[in-house]
Structure 1
Amino acid sequence: MKLSPISLRRKGFTLVELLVVISIIVALAGVAFVTAQKAMNTARERQSQKDCADLALAINNFIADHQGVLPVDSVVRMDKDKCITTSVEDPSRLITILIDREKGPELDRVNRTRKKYVSGAIVDNPKGGIFMNGRDAGLYDPWGKPYYVVLDADGDEEIQDPTSKKERPIFSRVIVYGTGPDGTGSQLDHKILEPEFTEDNVYSWKK
């Protein structure tokens, strides 16, 4: 039987067809990457929101157990609405006290109950958990930044909302917030009132 020229023609993809297929694969990979990044950022935001709420609850529990004593080192001067951080370098040593890792004699400890008020993964670097530096500890958000804690030092259970230019009290002994993916928008960098820096912030007292 004599084969036709078509049946003799070699089967396979042409260069144009290969380029089209490669372009489609690249486009699909790009869409998948963007979708994965959005899902990851959403998960991090939810974790940060949970951290803020859990930390505020932990501090309120500590204050209740210690008859109004704040979980900060005595060397820190506590004024009204004092803002401190959860950094391992912060002199307040907030997280160190809350997880009962204080040094020194029993009588010098702030955490007299010896309870562990904050739980979480111990991480090897300051990102997404409790980071230890010797016996001192810090709590960091999923982007590697500390959280910001505002404490009501005078005990009237009112804190001025740091995100509002108007007098807007929050009726609590403690509020906590994180600066989100961009790491900016805190009271300490003086950008807490600038929307372009705070639009990705997370808060314990609002969503």
Structure 2
Amino acid sequence: MKSLNRTRGFTLVELMVVIVIVTVLASLVFMFSNRAMNKAEKVTAIQQMRDLSAGMEAYIADYKTPPIPGGKAPGSDRNKEPGWDTIYGDPPQPNRNYGNEAIIGPLSGDSASDFQMDNGEVFRASELNPKGNQYVQFKYSEEKKNGVGEDGRLYDPWGHEVIIAINAHAPNSTPDERRLNTYGLGEWTDKKPRFERYAFWSYGKDGVKQDTYSNSDDVVFW
């Protein structure tokens, strides 16, 4: 008489061990894939700012100054009219005044539009780019991520406005004037701009500025 082959099933303990192992492996895969995605988005944000910087340099080569609206530019007598370093695209807050479309529009070649800021002030593209030259070809983004939205504002890969600071002073002005003032918005304990003509930054995926740059997902370019 032939003996019957019997297969032993998993015990409850063995089944639980398998479930725990699968759960841990899935968590590790998710964690590493999430890190890789965040790193890729940060690289994309840096490249976006590099392209923006290249356009800014081309603009400066044409106009000998960054794009500064007339109301912010120094007058002929710099001692009496020192000008104002201005932030464009800072996150929504009670004191927010300017979206970055006032800078992005002229850099994209717009010389016809008027840009009404959050405080009601109007900037004219014709003041900043009377030649109508295109300095940056921005990607359009209907989702307002990693490109220019229908509102004319440039957004980072996480959907936040790219923040732009423009130094209103000429390179031959006094050291105090040449120091770019971001009013604390673009300054970290271990990183801050000095005598740059302009600066770009983003507060990363969470959209919140951290105290220390090196331990954050914030992105800067200057």
Superposition TM-score tier, normalisation by shorter sequence: 0.7 to 0.9
- Are the aligned partners of 1:95 and 1:139 in contact in 2 as well (CA < 8 Å)? yes
Give 5+ residue unaligned stretches, structure 1. Answer: 186-190
| 2:108 corresponding residue in structure 1 | 99
1:91–1:13 distance in 2 versus 1, CA, 3 Å: closer
| 1:147 corresponding residue in structure 2 | 162
| Paired residues, number | 186
Give the deviation of 1:100 after TM superposition.
2.0
Determine helix, strand or coil for the equivalent of 1:20.
helix
- Are the aligned partners of 1:100 and 1:116 in contact in 2 as well (CA < 8 Å)? yes
CA distance in 2, matches of 1:195, 1:122: 32
Give the deviation of 1:19 after TM superposition.
2.4
1:58–1:91 distance in 2 versus 1, CA, 3 Å: closer
Q: Which amino acid aligns with 1:140?
A: Y
Percentage of identical aligned residues: 28
1:181 to 197, 205, 213: 205
Q: How does 1:116-135 map to 2 (within 5 A)?
A: 116-133=134-151
CA distance in 1, matches of 2:53, 2:110: 19
Deviation digits for residues 71-107 of structure 1 (CA, Å, limit 9, x no counterpart): 3554x534332222289x72761111111234359x9
- Are the aligned partners of 1:143 and 1:180 in contact in 2 as well (CA < 8 Å)? yes
Determine helix, strand or coil for the equivalent of 2:128.
coil
| 1:188 corresponding residue in structure 2 | none
Give the deviation of 1:169 after TM superposition.
6.6
- Are the aligned partners of 1:178 and 1:201 in contact in 2 as well (CA < 8 Å)? yes
Structure 1 residue 82 corresponds to structure 2 residue 86 = yes
Determine helix, strand or coil for the equivalent of 2:148.
strand
Determine helix, strand or coil for the equivalent of 1:203.
strand
- Are the aligned partners of 1:86 and 1:148 in contact in 2 as well (CA < 8 Å)? yes
1:195 to 186, 209, 212: 212
CA distance in 2, matches of 1:15, 1:27: 18
- Per the normalisation by structure 1, the TM-score is 0.73
1:164–1:179 distance in 2 versus 1, CA, 3 Å: closer
| 1:24 corresponding residue in structure 2 | 21
| 1:3 corresponding residue in structure 2 | 3
1:38–1:92 distance in 2 versus 1, CA, 3 Å: closer
Q: How does 1:37-76 map to 2 (within 5 A)?
A: 37-68=34-65, 70-74=66-70, 76=71
- Are the aligned partners of 2:140 and 2:149 in contact in 1 as well (CA < 8 Å)? yes
Give 5+ residue unaligned stretches, structure 2. Answer: 74-82, 92-97, 115-124, 173-177
Structure 1 residue 172 corresponds to structure 2 residue 191 = no
CA distance in 2, matches of 1:164, 1:179: 11
Moved over 6 A (4+): none
Determine helix, strand or coil for the equivalent of 2:19.
helix
Bigger shift: residues 58-67 or 39-48: 58-67
- Per the normalisation by structure 2, the TM-score is 0.68
CA distance in 1, matches of 2:194, 2:200: 12
CA distance in 1, matches of 2:158, 2:47: 14
